[in-house]
Amino acid sequence: MNTQEIKDLEGFTGVVLVPVFETNPQNVVPIEFHGVSIPSKVFYGKKDTHYLVEKYDCLHIFVGLGKKIEYKSLKTLFRRIASKEKERFGKNVALYIPETFTLQQVEATISGLSLGTYQLSHFKNDDPHPFLIKEFSLSILSKNDHTETIVRATKIARAQKEVMQLVDLPSNVVTPSYMAEWAKDMGKAHGFEVRVLDAAASKIEGLDAFLSVGKGSAKEPQFIIMDYQPQDDKLRHIGLVGKGITFDTGGLNIKTAGMVHMKSDMAGAAAVLGAMVLIADLQLPVRVTAVVPCCENAVDKDSFYPSDVIKSYQGATIEVIDTDAEGRLILADGLSYLIKNFKPEIVVDMATLTGSCVATFGYECAGLFTNNAELQQKLQYSGDAVGERMWPLPLWDAYTSELDSDIADVKNYHGKPYAGAITAAKFLEYFTDKHTAWAHLDIAGVAFVDDEFAKSKHASGYGAHLLTHFIENL
């Protein structure tokens, strides 16, 4: 999406987007803009309303913001305009930035417009969104210079669209090898190191829990390790881990419901990959090491079995009660590999881990698990700031015994119809070597959603912006 700054609408023809804060329906003073006058009785800036006026060869779209508006709503509003009104746009669009807009509001608006160009029709011959054609230009009409914010907003949206595409593409396209190649390409383009362990290399490393999950699939597991390291050795060091199950059939404990959505079971991995791209793109002064175990949980003669006892990278043995609780197995190896080999100061993992978390929070918020109060506060702060929210659930010792196994060091599922998200998080905790700054985000509900932007469930892009904002504000 090309952008340029303009100081007035002199000679401009095309669509003009005009955000309007709510006044009062009884207001006698009309809303005036560019010679257009709208009586308050007709339009007064109520949130989620818009009003179209054609004048001077311009189609003005007045966009109601309500009295005040937070980041996510503003972004969604402009995403909606860009995606649902796309027939109205030609190659010239102007966006008026009110003087009262904060930098965050400018960012949300531009990011939303750019996100609105995302189309789910990856396998159709649809025309590209008008904002994406070469001749297109978005003119920013503002008294202030917003160049930096515009560049930043565009980068955020670009990373989010990449995340959405990875999640929305089906599992016969986004295989573990596809994810590995994607990471390598992005590493080259944005300047971070990428190393990938294939099945043989993972075996040599002892990533047995990870390999057990991928055993039943014809698609080779890939253990992706990424390192973004600007040249300064006094930087803070953050570790990220993302669940990369490219399809979750449940394994031999085959899923009886919702399997069709399980191409999205790599959304944690996609969020971490997207965060690496965005962090490197923004050249943040911080070291970030990310581990993304990718494999498929398939049904086959070679699949791992319920009751199998498997080894883990950390050394502990695991009794597999349920092969559908596979995410925690690959994350166990991902977490312990990251912590043992890179010793990051802070560790955050993201995973579409449990149906229990969806049942608790729906699509609105992720489950947050940490024993570190400062980490909790900072993650929640970032979540609120970018509209990717989360809420804490406990990691109390009282839950530890749920994972006691008679035959092995630990079991992967307590087999009870309650506390599913918490016991999954407790299982992960076992593999963090008592790290004092670890947080787990269960994004099962927020990563793949039902909303106004498609008829079927689709990727939300959750996570990449959140992790980036968190790391920027440490």
The phi, psi pair for 364, rounded to 5°, reads -85, -30
Q: Which does 268 bind (CB under 5 to 8 A by kind): ligand BES, Zn ion, none?
A: none
Query: Considering 158, 328, 411, 426, which one is annotated as catalytic?
Result: 328
End-to-end alpha-carbon separation of the chain, Å?
31
CB of 259 to Zn ion, least distance (A): 10
Cα–Cα distance between 94 and 57 in angstroms, integer?
13
Strands 31-33 vs 36-38: parallel, antiparallel or unpaired: antiparallel
CB of 331 to Zn ion, least distance (A): 10
Question: Pick from 344, 420, 461, 463: which binds ligand BES (CB under 6 A)?
Answer: 420
Q: Which does 208 bind (CB under 5 to 8 A by kind): ligand BES, Zn ion, none?
A: none
Q: Is 255 a catalytic residue?
A: yes
Q: Smaller CB distance to ligand BES: residue 26 or 456?
A: 456
Q: How many residues bind ligand BES (CB under 6 A)?
A: 17
248 touching ligand BES, by CB under 6 A:
yes
Cα–Cα distance between 248 and 268 in angstroms, integer?
13
SS3 of 418, please?
Answer: coil
CA distances from 254 to 121, 161, 303, 331, 421 (A): 29, 31, 11, 20, 20
326 touching ligand BES, by CB under 6 A:
yes
Q: Which does 358 bind (CB under 5 to 8 A by kind): Zn ion, ligand BES, none?
A: ligand BES
Ranges within 436-455 binding ligand BES (CB under 6 A) = 444
Q: Is 243 a catalytic residue?
A: no
428 touching ligand BES, by CB under 6 A:
no
CA distances from 74 to 102, 210, 303, 462 (A): 12, 41, 46, 16
C-beta of residue 112 within 8 angstroms of C-beta of residue 76: yes
408 touching ligand BES, by CB under 6 A:
no
271 touching ligand BES, by CB under 6 A:
no
Which x/- pattern over 197-236 shows residues binding ligand BES (rule: CB under 6 A)?
----------------------------------------
Tokens of 106: 């400018």
Question: Pick from 22, 107, 168, 265: which binds ligand BES (CB under 6 A)?
Answer: 265
CB of 161 to Zn ion, least distance (A): 24
356 touching ligand BES, by CB under 6 A:
yes
Cα–Cα distance between 148 and 439 in angstroms, integer?
31
Secondary element (H or E) of residue 109? helix 103-115
Q: Which does 306 bind (CB under 5 to 8 A by kind): ligand BES, Zn ion, none?
A: none
Cα–Cα distance between 381 and 391 in angstroms, integer?
11
φ/ψ bin of 376: left (φ > 0), alpha (ψ from -120 to 50), beta (otherwise): alpha
- Tell me which stretch binds ligand BES (CB under 6 A): 23-31, 136-144, 209-217, 352-360: 352-360
Cβ neighbours of 268 (radius 10 Å): 33
Cα–Cα distance between 384 and 279 in angstroms, integer?
19
C-beta of residue 75 within 8 angstroms of C-beta of residue 115: yes
CB of 392 to ligand BES, least distance (A): 19
Tokens of 188: 């080259």
Q: Smaller CB distance to ligand BES: residue 81 or 325?
A: 325
- Tell me which stretch binds ligand BES (CB under 6 A): 58-66, 143-151, 175-183, 346-354: 346-354
Q: Which does 355 bind (CB under 5 to 8 A by kind): ligand BES, Zn ion, none?
A: ligand BES
Q: Which residues are catalytic?
A: 255, 328
List contacts with ligand BES (CB under 6 A). Answer: 248, 258, 265, 322, 324-327, 352-356, 358, 413, 420, 444
